[in-house]
Amino acid sequence: MSETKAPAHDEPSLFEKCHRFFDPSGDYAKLKRADLYPYFRPIEESEGSRAVMNGDELVMAGSNNYLGLTADPRVKEAAQEATATYGTGCTGSRFLNGTLDLHLELEERLADFMGKEKAVLFSTGYMTNEGVLEAVAGRGDIIFSDKDNHACINAGAQKSLAETKRYRHNDFDHLRKMLKRAHAERPDAGKLIATDGVFSMSGKIARVPELLDLADEFDAALMLDDAHAIGVVGEGGRGSASTFGRKDDVHLITGTFSKSFASIGGFCVGDRDVVEYIRHEASTHIFSASMPPSTVATVLKSLEILQNEPERLDRLHEISDYMRDGFRNLGFDVWESETPIIPVVIGDMEQCFRFWRALIDEGVFVNAVVPPAVPKGQALMRTSYMATHSDEELDQILDAFHKVGKKLGVIGTNGHGTSVGA
């Protein structure tokens, strides 16, 4: 295989693990030989709900392009105009030479959209959570983190040097015990509860009211990562807390532009002093080049479309309900999805890869997710939907799943009764 290479005789032992990864007896080599390896597959063309891979046109059911705006002509034009005016990049951090009037405009509009005093931009969503946690928490503080949180929250908690306690997913009795003990033993410690607003594998919305009650009781702040919630759920697409009418009560809300906003980057909104402190203390903001003009303009136009075309959200919710019902009626386990993220549990890891490969042959692209990203025995197809999917495309996806599920004997045996989204 071209991926394997014998180590150089005098190569440092540090790299031994790199060569072991490609051992012919390992999972990587086996999956490659069987043409079942689903990752890093190049997409040659993409126009929203359809994509071309290896020359074949596929229905895209594995994208986070929830509003379907990546191919919108208005969004493309905005990006092109910004490039013509400002060039292709800022060549510096926001702290020094990388702040454009476009950045300030977007921060103002996001703060207004979310009903918060201030917003700050970051160059990626991952860097947003990493930077926010690093800035607001430090030695002597305690972060309480849901065990199913995205990796960037875990990275930020580690980087912050605060003590981190991970509570069982959505287990508020467990979280309460942790908070109560910390409050008794370290009453002066700063406390922060950090959680995904929508969990990226289960499609489950965090139970924000319960989290806020605990935060209030134990003098803790609450931070929601609404990467998969902004532009997806809540009043006007304002996120997870908004679905409960509690957006104003959450202390910090973060989000990304790589999903509903058709670009890349991230943001944090909250009270003025807190956000301005983050702007000056988050290393991922200070020491990273700022968002390029074209990406900022893309987000501005996407935000405008979201606010002016609420029917996109209506269509997205209609599609989500249709697909959840469709999978369940076919006999598939979709956990407790409440959003356009709909997991379809397969079970066995190798079977999951075979299912993914068979769907490609049926003209449907989804994402294969295996442990440790999901519990053992709960390997799944992570499907996700956009407002621009047609009814015909949705039925094609369901038909493909039904055909492959029957062929591989998955329907009815795929983990019913087990859920990580409870």
Once rounded to an integer, what is the mean pLDDT over residues 89-103?
A: 96
Q: Is the pLDDT of residue 420 over 60?
A: no
53 forms beta bridges with 56
Once rounded to an integer, what is the mean pLDDT over residues 165-188?
A: 97
| Per-position DSSP letters for 389-413, written without gaps between them | --HHHHHHHHHHHHHHHHHTT-TT-
Structure tokens at 260: 């509903």
* Active-site residue (options: 160, 200, 260, 337): 200
* Active-site residue (options: 118, 204, 259, 389): 259
Q: How much of the chain exceeds pLDDT 90, in percent?
A: 93
Q: What is the pLDDT of residues 258-270, one digit of tens each?
A: 999 999 999 999 9
Per-residue pLDDT band for 422 (boundaries 50, 70, 90) equals: very low
pLDDT at 58: 97
Q: Is the pLDDT of residue 384 over 50?
A: yes
Structure tokens at 207: 């139970």
Please state, as a whole number, how many other Cβ atoms lie within 10 Å of the Cβ of residue 107: 20
Q: What is the pLDDT of residues 271-310, one digit of tens each?
A: 999 999 999 999 999 999 999 999 999 999 999 999 999 9
Once rounded to an integer, what is the mean pLDDT over residues 49-60?
A: 95
Q: What is the pLDDT of residues 199-243, one digit of tens each?
A: 999 999 999 999 999 999 999 999 999 999 999 999 999 999 999
Per-residue pLDDT band for 47 (boundaries 50, 70, 90) equals: confident
Q: What angle do CA 29, 35, 41 make, to 5 degrees?
A: 95
Once rounded to an integer, what is the mean pLDDT over residues 329-339?
A: 95
Residues 6+ apart with CB under 8 A from 59: 49, 50, 363, 364, 365, 389, 393, 396, 397
Per-residue pLDDT band for 10 (boundaries 50, 70, 90) equals: confident
pLDDT at 63: 96
Identify whether 200 is a catalytic site residue.
yes
Per-residue pLDDT band for 419 (boundaries 50, 70, 90) equals: very low
How much of the chain is in helix, strand and coil states, percent to nearest 5?
45, 15, 40
Identify whether 169 is a catalytic site residue.
no
Q: Is the pLDDT of residue 145 over 60?
A: yes
Using alpha carbons, list the distances in angstroms from residue 185 to 89, 179, 181, 236. Answer: 49, 10, 6, 42
**Backbone torsions φ then ψ of 377, nearest 5 degrees:** 80, 5
Q: Is the pLDDT of residue 5 over 70?
A: no
Structure tokens at 113: 């959209």
Using alpha carbons, list the distances in angstroms from residue 176 to 140, 183, 188, 189. Answer: 20, 10, 17, 16
What single-letter amino acid sits at 2? S
Cα 5 from Cα 227, distance rounded (Å) = 39
Does residue 370 contact residue 352 with C-beta atoms inside 8 Å? yes
Please state whether the predicted TM-score (pTM) of the whole model is above 0.85: yes
What is the β-pairing status of strands 163-167 and 191-196? unpaired
Using alpha carbons, list the distances in angstroms from residue 171 to 174, 190, 335, 346. Answer: 5, 22, 17, 25
144 forms beta bridges with 165, 193
CA atoms within 13 A on the CB side of 176: 8
CA dihedral over 228, 244, 327, 311, signed as positive or negative: negative
* Active-site residue (options: 169, 228, 285, 402): 228
Q: Is 294 helix (H, G, I), strand (E, B) or coil?
A: helix
Q: Which residues of 144-172 are buried (b: 16+ CB within 10 A; e: fewer)?
A: bbbebbbebbbbbbebbebbbbbbebbee
pLDDT at 415: 44
Structure tokens at 127: 């860097």
Q: Is the pLDDT of residue 421 over 80?
A: no
Identify whether 416 is a catalytic site residue.
no
Cα 122 from Cα 132, distance rounded (Å) = 10
Residue of 218, 196, 220, 191 whose CA lies nearest to 208: 196
Q: What is the pLDDT of residues 394-413, one digit of tens each?
A: 999 999 999 999 999 998 66
Per-residue pLDDT band for 49 (boundaries 50, 70, 90) equals: very high
